[in-house]
Amino acid sequence: MAKTKHALSPKFSLILLNLFIVAATAAAITTANTNGFDSPSFKISRPWPFKKLNKPVVLMISCDGFRFGYQFKTDTPNIDLLISRGTEAKHGLISVFPTMTFPNHYSIATGLYPAYHGIIMNKFTDPVSGEVFNKGLQPKWWLGEPLWVTAVNQGLKAVTYFWPGSEVPKGSWTCPEGYCPHFNLSIPLEERVDSVLSHFDRPEDEIPDLLMLYFDEPDQSGHNYGPDDPRVTIAVSRVDKMIGRVIKGLKKREIFDEVHVIVLGDHGMVTNCECDEKAIYIDDLADWIKIPSAWIKSYSPVLAISPQWDKDVENQGEKNAEVVAKMNEALSSGKVKNGEFLKVYLKEKLPERLHYSESYRIPPIIGMVGEGLIVRKNRTNAQVCYGDHGYDNQLFSMRTIFVGHGSRFSRGKKVPSFENVQIYNVVAEILGLRPAPNNGSSLFPRSILLPFGATRDLT
């Protein structure tokens, strides 16, 4: 007997189709959440819950030298808005050591500590070639893979505006005209904001997936006047107005809730004074050891010493250890003014938490300078106070801000402080990128982001 054919009703077929879609979506989410970045994959292709952009977009804004706590010095309504509707590092973002601009911006971009991405200070000398790095753009200095390279290598579009290191040609990234302006400090912050926002007026398929914007304030004011000066408060207020300009521009384009806006800084700021009361003088160690000026590559906030031994001197490592021992003996003797605020190490003996030994570019002897103090060769009778950074990243004064707003960030969530090397993986997760090797944890994004598919309602 022939089998009876049963035709499914359109309504029942639609129910089955919906069940299939839900099951497939749940399976995809489960796979993404369990595999994370621990297994290799191609760029993750994901549906996007919004209509205007139809893809995830990240806009990262760096406010150079924005010390954590500045947001309490004056009204910052726009930063406050992002905090109230987003996720904040409750007690600030932890910078990498040394807490300087170029090492930290490139750590944010690559997820690597300076010893691994090569930019160990703002200025340093290559001990092999003798060449000096002074914020140069030659690719040989810049190791690792920054976010803009990861993005374009995997078929996405990226825009950078003055982000340190972004002008360096690398991989598929050539700092393309119109997408990577060359640094010019005279360009007003307003113009920078408007230029970045203009990319959202491009045709839909040309809108960048990643945009990285750099403000040089409040760092400049902090250096000039110190973090407690009223003029720094004015600079903080101005930066907040620029964040407001970003928010207004995104709202005008009806995409504020679709763009993941990350506002952060690179380091904090502390007052130091070039005066006898806050200085340590290398010449005061002369009764124990004489350190020639030619050996000193940096005085403070990081004392970096590279002894220049004659080629016929054997056991140079042991000789370096003797230098460290004699310096520390002098500094702890009670006979060197402020000596207790300087501790000298062979670089391989530095505290592991600093991650500051695995590079031949790092000088063999490193001195950790106390908060707000300076090191000088000898007395100059200078009596100048100003702001500085670069000190131990464990110091609270070296912390900065982190705020994330967007569908993957929980509303009003406070998270514990974390190091900025974790940010690379967070951005990679939002954009669905396969991350390059880095020092961040592949699991960290799960602690700060909502799972894909569980995006919250931003209204």
DSSP state of 77: H
pLDDT of residue 17: 36
Instruction: Decide if 400 is catalytic.
Output: no
Q: What is the pTM of this model?
A: 0.88
Burial class of residue 193 (count of CB atoms within 10 Å of its CB; 0-12, 13-18, 19+): buried
| CB-based contacts of 124, cutoff 8 Å, min separation 6 | 132, 133, 297, 298, 304, 361
pLDDT of residue 452: 78
Helix (H) or strand (E) holding 150: helix 147-153
Catalytic residue among 76, 87, 99, 101: 101
Which residues of 349-397 form beta strands (DSSP E)? 365-369, 374-376, 384-388
pLDDT of residue 39: 33
Are 137 and 167 in contact by the 8 Å Cβ rule? The answer is yes
Question: Rounded distance, CA 331 to CA 338, Å?
Answer: 8
Q: Which residues does the chain have with pLDDT short of 50?
A: 1-45, 458-459
Mode of pairing for the β-strands spanning 279-281 and 374-376: parallel
Question: Rounded distance, CA 212 to CA 161, Å?
Answer: 6
Question: Rounded distance, CA 307 to CA 276, Å?
Answer: 27
Q: How many helices (H) and strands (E) does the chain have?
A: 11, 17
CA angle at 195 for the pair 153 and 260, rounded to the nearest 5°? 60
In which residue are the tokens 């010493």 written?
305
Are 266 and 400 in contact by the 8 Å Cβ rule? The answer is yes
Are 390 and 101 in contact by the 8 Å Cβ rule? The answer is no
pLDDT of residue 274: 86
Are 37 and 203 in contact by the 8 Å Cβ rule? The answer is no
Q: Give me the domains of the chain, ranges plus CATH numbers.
A: 57-269+394-448 (3.40.720.10), 272-388 (3.30.1360.180)
Measure Cα distances from 324 to 72, 307, 350 in Å. 42, 11, 12
pLDDT of residue 276: 84
10 Å Cβ neighbour count for 361? Answer: 18
